[in-house]
Amino acid sequence: MENLRKLILLFVVMIVCTAFIPGGRVSAASDTAGDSLKILGHASVKIKTSDGMVIYIDPFAGTDYADSADVLLVTHQHGDHNAVHLVKRKQSCVTITNAEAQVAGVYQHFAVGNITIDAVPAYNANHQKNSCVGYVLEFSDIRLYHAGDTGLIDEMSDLKDRHITHALLPMDGIYTMTPEEAVEAAVRMDPAHTIPIHTIPPPGTFSEAIVDRFTAPSKLVVRPGETIELISGSTAIEGESSLPRSFFLKQNYPNPFNPGTSIEFSIPEAGYTVLRVYDMLGKEAAVLVSERLGPGLHRAEFDGSRMQSGVYIVKLASSGRISSGRMLLLK
């Protein structure tokens, strides 16, 4: 019971102190020069493209609606997805809801500047097929999938050939897929990165417990209020090996772990790279990598046999980019 009490306390500290983790993955949208994605909460997201376009999808959660929209997308008409009054729209803003996205059973294609948008199937027992859609957005080298609400459906397999770079999958297990079903969805779609969204019904916006149950290798955790740079996942030329060219830090596996776990990360270019582990007080616990590495996917092993149970922060830094994540050592 004492160990359980300590772990619960550590989780509380972890949640409260996330914003104060030095060098963490959190960044302001204005700090990201290229394409960026901000999770506002629930299924609400804001995307900024490198050419200055602003896209909102399923406005409802969060407060950062200050940027006027060029594109506004709504997947369906439930109140926790269609709060369009929160969004300031430019005079030229293109608004697409499920009504425009699916006409007489036909999923529509749209082009707005350099952005292309394809409506795709998204449905389950709580969301009828004729009144709910998902979207695949393409801009720069990014191919992003978003479904505000959906179940595990056969049509997800059709998206594998789209080479999705970022898939935003809902997984609260009540109105949407379970985390375990979302793992299968990620297998069918095979995206470079899979970001959990809609992990808890309103008024909550994020569930650590649900996210921990989502164990897809492509898992990328972006919490409400956090912004990430969008970089394409990998490119492959026929006859040559695939070379990841994005910067990311994968969730360690296994997690929770005892005593060892593997940490995979990718860097898009050669550079001096450091991978460190800290305890929740900010004290350095281990240096796993400190050397110049070439571009691509790398793996490091962490041995916690001499560490106490608890939450640890893993921090990756390379070529001016920084990413961090959390691991749970449970003895």
pTM of the model: 0.67
Quote the pLDDT of residue 1: 53
- DSSP track, 160-179: GGG--SEEEEE--SSSS--H
Is residue 161 helix, strand or coil? helix
DSSP 8-state symbol, 124: B
Do 243 and 237 form a contact (C-beta atoms < 8 A)?
no
pLDDT at 278: 94
Largest CA distance in the chain: 62
Asked if residue 256 has a cis previous peptide bond (ω within 30° of 0), the answer is yes
CA angle (129, 134, 138) in 5-degree steps? 150
Residues 249/265, Cβ–Cβ less than 8 Å = yes
pLDDT (0 to 100) of residue 74:
98
Distance between terminal CA atoms of the chain? 13
Query: In the chain, what percentage of residues exceed pLDDT 70?
Result: 85
Token duo for residue 80: 């926790």
CB 54 within 8 A of CB 67: yes
> Above 80 in pLDDT, residue 213?
yes
Q: Are 216 and 186 in contact (CB under 8 A)?
A: yes
The token pair that represents 236 in the structure block? 């492959």
How far, in Å, CA of 254 to CA of 188, rounded? 22
* CATH number of this structure's domain 243-329: 2.60.40.1930
Query: Is pLDDT above 90 for 226?
Result: no
Q: Where are the domains of the chain?
A: 24-232, 243-329
> Of 31-45, 105-119, 181-195, 317-331, which range is least confident?
31-45
CATH 3.60.15.10 fits 24-232, yes or no: yes
Report the percentage of the chain scoring pLDDT > 90: 65
